[in-house]
């Protein structure tokens, strides 16, 4: 989604969202309308593997042994998730079998962050806690300020208007299945069971 437009200008520097949305569909539709008529657009949810980019924010082991997740996202905000390595190709192939002109979001599930942690806790048998923090606190805790600003905006944007810009027209895997096209997706639990959590657990 285009964070700048979807947020009414509140998020003007979420570059890894807006740079893509400026091109697809914006630039292509304006510059190459014949190509755009043959095109569908796919955006992805959070990569399930993104914890590797910010392990301290996802799973910080506190003094009492609890693993705390700290994001500037409301605890009741649902966030889409995707096993990017396993499912992107499957999803795009399924989309290619549909008529053009639609927009999709590749996601396997849409848990809240506390629900994400609950699944992780069930897989690893570790105690967890979710802590909503401010954007400023997230940036301050990030090893790299520029990364903290960009990622922090993404997490805050996920609260309002929502990671997908609150676009009700986005089609999902379930819509492809209803159209008779197979589109299996890896569940969050399946993904977590395949991961080696040793580095996280041995903090």
- pLDDT single digits (tens) 103-122: 999 999 999 999 999 999 99
- Backbone angle region of 166, left / alpha / beta, with phi > 0 → left and psi within -120 to 50 → alpha: left
> What's the pLDDT at 114?
99
Class of domain 3-201: alpha beta
Residues of the chain with pLDDT under 70: none
**Rounded CA separation 124/195 (Å):** 10
| pTM for this model (two decimals) | 0.93
**Rounded CA separation 63/69 (Å):** 14
> What's the pLDDT at 169?
96
């Amino acid at each position: 989604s285009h964070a700048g437009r979807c947020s009414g200008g509140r998020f003007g520097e979420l570059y890894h969202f807006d740079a893509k949305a400026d091109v697809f569909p914006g630039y292509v539709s304006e510059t190459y309308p014949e190509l755009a008529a043959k095109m569908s657009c796919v955006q992805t949810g959070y990569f399930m593997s993104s914890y590797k980019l910010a392990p301290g924010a996802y799973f910080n082991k506190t003094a009492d042994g609890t693993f705390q997740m700290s994001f500037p996202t409301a605890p009741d905000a649902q966030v889409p998730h995707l096993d990017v390595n396993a499912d992107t190709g499957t999803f795009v192939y399924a989309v290619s079998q549909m008529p053009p002109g639609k927009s999709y979001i590749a996601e396997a599930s849409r848990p809240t962050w506390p629900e994400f942690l609950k699944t992780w806790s069930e897989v690893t048998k570790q105690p967890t806690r979710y802590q909503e923090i401010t954007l400023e606190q997230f940036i301050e805790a990030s090893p790299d300020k520029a990364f903290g600003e960009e990622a922090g905006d993404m997490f805050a944007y996920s609260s309002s208007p929502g990671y997908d810009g609150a676009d009700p027209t986005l089609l999902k895997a379930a819509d492809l299945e209803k159209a008779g096209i197979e589109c299996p997706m890896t569940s969050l639990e399946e993904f977590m069971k395949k991961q080696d959590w040793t580095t996280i657990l041995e903090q």
